[in-house]
Each structure stands twice: as structure tokens, then as C-alpha cells.
Structure 1
Amino acid sequence: MIERADQLVLNYVSKAADAAHGVLRADQRLDFAKRLRARIEAERGGSQNARDVAKVLARFGDPAALVEREVRRLAEAGVATKRDAADFGGVATSGVSRADGGPAQTPGTGSTLRFPSVVDDHDEPPGVRAYRRIAQERLEKQGQGRGLPFAGLRRAAMSSANPMATGGRDARTIVKEHPRETAAMVILIVAALLVPFRLPPLAIFQVPLVVWAAGGALVLFGESWSLRDKLLGIGAPLLGYSVGGVLVGGLRVGIEAGLQAFVTQFFDVSGTMFMIGTGLGVVWLAYRLLDVS
């Protein structure tokens, strides 16, 4: 997870350096990349969460736009860039006169200790900041699935997507951040898959029931789900087995078939209904895990 967050920063700085190639001189490009990396680390605040880092980088905006701002800053300071040299037919001047008639400055001396402000810094008008915050909150709500149903599942399916486009969230990231919850869901799936094999019972308990109990215990100890989500996730298999078995078994035998026929049909379909209930419960747990993350 730490490597992934650091890789996001490295990729962003590399894009900015590539955009500066041919625009800034080598020394200016190196200084620009160093200051950009330092500003990102300051905004990042030591966070190793890929999603938080992706949000920080998103606030900086397009790397090419940052390069253009750096060019304008150097031009205002009277410092020549590689683009200026190209504009003069490839001949770089040894000094550039200032617009106010001041002494010329030697190229390469335009470094500053402070990187240009990012798009949401405090120097914006209060009204702009307020409306920007409202818009960002609405977008975050949509990304969490309130405005766009199952948006979390769609983001997780993009396991090979650019993490900048998915908010740093994909299937692999979720698995790394929530190993206990992932193991619980896997165990519940295994319990459902064991139903058709008719394994000998352990003492008086069927093997799928024992495996389901182990998975349910892990679900209860999970920290990423609410109590309601936990009960729905581990209760769905039991509801499928009992309620589903009764309903489907009753429909298959009819009213006048007798108790024995009903019991036979119940045990014939209850295993299948248990598997269906487990699948629904795991899907719900996975969705909620992605949504709250």
C-alpha cells in the first residue's frame, strides 16, 4: 500500500517533468520537479493511503498546466526559458532586461522557495471556495454510490485502471487494506461451494455449516461493516436455507402432498437456497466494504 501511494506521486512528478521537457532548461526543469515534489509531500502530510494521495494530486490539476504557470512565473521574473530560446531562433541570451528597466537577470536564477498555489488554496475569493467545496461534496457523494448506484463496485472492477481515475480504489487495494474482511467473504463462499459434496458431518454438524460459522465469526469481528451489514451478510444464508427452503419446497409439493413429501423437498432445495443466500450476502458485504471505503 505504501509503495502504491509513493508510485502515484512519482508518476505525477514524472508527467510534470515530461511536460517541462523542451519548455524549461535542464536546470529549471530539475528545480521545478524538486519544488513540485516538496509541495506534494507537504500537502500529503505523510499519508500512505493511495486514495488520499490521489485526491491531493487531483487538487494540483494537470501537470502540463503547472508547467505553463512555471513558465509565466519565470517570464514575470525576467528569466529566459528554453521556449524563449526557441522563439529567438535557438540563440539564448545571456541576460534579460526587466520590464521596469532594472538590471538584467541571468537565466536560471528564477528559483523560489515557494511553489505556485494549487487550485484550492486560500487566496481564492470566499465565494469561489464555498461553491467549490459544495461541488466537491456532491461529487464525493456520487462517488460513494449515493448519486450513482453501485459506483463502488464499478470502481473495484477497474483493477487495472489508472488509480488517479478511480480515486486510488480498485480491487487489489481493497484486498490489501481489508485482509480480515476479504478472508471472511472467501470463507463464506467456500461454505456455499461445499454444499453439493455431501461431506460426512463433524460430530453432529454439517461441514458447510461449520465453515459458515467460521466465516460468520470473522464477519462479526470485521471493523469495516456496521452491525446491520454484518447481520445481513451472515443471515442471508440462513434465511435462504430456512425461509427459502420452506417456500420453494412447499411450492414444489403442493398443499395436499403430506408432511413426508414436504420434508423431502425441503432438504432437496434447502442446500441450493443456502448457496443462493450466501452469494447474496457476500455481494452485499463486498458492496458495503467498497462503499464505506
Structure 2
Amino acid sequence: MIERADQMVLNYVSRAADAAHGVLRPDQRLDFARRLRARIEAERRGSQDARDVAKVLTRFGDPVALVEREARRLANPAAAPTVGPSADRPTELTGSVVRGRPRDLAALVVLALAALLVPVGLPAVAIFQVPVLVWAAGAAAVLFSDTWTAGDKLAGAGAPLFGYTVGGVLVGGFQAAEPGPAAFVARFFEVSGVMFMIGTALGVAWLAYRLLDVS
């Protein structure tokens, strides 16, 4: 994990240096990369957690935008040499997530697709319903991600299943047309799909919130 955190910083600075090629003079490019690395390390505050480092890099935004800011600064000799988090954080934050976390975004899309397939009524594959299989693929992608914490993964990936089982049992039990297991089971299957969709929406919303790190 420590090596991954350091590699993330190195990759980010390398991207910025590559973007500066042909835009800044070689000496300016080296000075820019040096100051950028130092500023990132200062913001990082010695953290070796890959998630913390990802947050720091996200605050800095698109490396190309940093190079453009540096070029504008160099064009104005009176400006102070600054390299740091972008002032346009909301826009650049979203763009950085889209470009930097494609697998995490794909996992969210797969989870959302599982919910959207519920009302379609596709035939089962062996004994498994198609939405359950799609959910399992999305949940696996979330669990193998190194972006979210264990708690985030459990909440986000488990919410659809929790909604289906617990939500279906509670709502089915309260809304059964008449006493007895047959009425309960019938009502459970009527509402469990909807509860699965609600759980999925909540889980995806939570994972997306944590991915964007909105606080």
C-alpha cells in the first residue's frame, strides 16, 4: 500500500511533466515538477494511505490545467511562483474522478444496471435471476477496488441485497393481504424487487458520494 501511494504521486507528477513538454522550457519544466512534488508531499503530510493520497491529488486537479496556470504565471514576471490545489475544484474534481477511476465508475454503472433490469423480467439463468447476477458482478468490482473503505464497500454493495431480503420481509409482512405464510410469500415477491431497486439506488449514491469525497 505504501508503494502504491508513492507510485500515485510519481505518476501524477510525471503526467504534469509530460504535459509541460513543449509548453515550458526544460529548466522551467524541471523547476515546475520539483515544486509540484514538494507541494504534494506537503499536502500529503506523510500519509502512506492510498485513499488519502488520491484525495490530495484530486484537489490538485488536472495536471494539464496546472501546466497552463504555470505558463500564465511565467508570462507575468510579477506573479509569485505557486503550484497547488486548483481554485476550480468542483469542476476539476468531477473530471479527475471520471478520468482517474474508470473501474470504480464501471462498478457503479453495473450496480445501477442490476436495478434497472428488475422490471424487465428476463428469464433466469439456471436458478439465478439476471439482476442478481449483474449485482454480483458489480459487487465484486466494488469489493476488489482499493478506493473505498471496507465500510463503504459493505454499505454500497450490500444495500441492494439488504433491501431485497430485509426490506422485502418487513414490507411483505406488514402488507400481506391476509395472515399465513402463503400470503406473506406472495407479497414478499411482489415488493422485494422494488426494495432491491431502492437499496441499489441508496448504495450507488453512497459509493458515488464517497468517490467524489464531498464533505
Q: TM-score range by the shorter chain?
A: 0.5 to 0.7
What is the alpha-carbon distance in structure 2 between the residues aligned to residue 200 and residue 45 of structure 1? 54
Is the 2:148–2:210 Cα contact (8 Å) retained in structure 1?
A: yes
Match of 2:182 in 1: 260
Structure with max Cα Rg: 1
Per-residue deviation, 1:41: 3.8
The 2-side partners of 1:50 and 1:263 are apart by 48
- Distance in structure 2 (CA, Å) of the matches to 1:257 and 1:53: 59
C-alpha distance in 1, partners of 2:142/2:184?
Answer: 33
Matched, 1:211 2:134: yes
**Corresponding position of 2:78:** 69
1:289 aligns with 2:190: no
Q: Tell me by how many angstroms 1:37 deviates.
A: 6.2
1:43 aligns with 2:51: no
More helix by share: 2
Query: Unmatched 5+ residue regions in structure 2?
Result: 1-10, 41-56
CA displacement at 1:50 relative to structure 2:
6.9
Which residue of structure 1 aligns with residue 200 of structure 2? 278
Distance (Å, rounded) in 1 between the aligned partners of 2:152 and 2:35: 35
3-state secondary structure, aligned to 2:106: helix
Partner of 1:166: 89
Higher relative contact order (CA 8 A, sep 6+): 2
Deviations 1:169-219 (A, max 9, x none): 333321221111111111111111111111111111111111111111111
The Cα RMSD (Å) is 4.0
After superposition, the Cα gap between the structure-2 partners of 1:178 and 1:226, relative to the gap in structure 1 and judged at 3 Å, is same
Aligned to 2:54: none
Deviation at 1:7, TM superposition (A): 10
1:223 matches 2:146: yes
Given that 1:191 and 1:209 are in contact with CA atoms closer than 8 Å, whether structure 2 keeps it comes out as yes
Task: Provide the C-alpha distance between the structure 1 equivalents of 2:143 and 2:58, rounded to a whole number of angstroms.
Answer: 27
CA contact (8 A) 2:61 2:96 kept: no
State the alpha-carbon separation in 2 of the partners of residues 9 and 239 from structure 1: 49
**Which residue does 1:82 correspond to in 2?**
none
Q: 2:60 aligns with which of 47, 52, 57?
A: 52
Aligned length: 181
Partners of 1:180 and 1:203 in 2: CA distance: 28
Partner of 1:242: 165
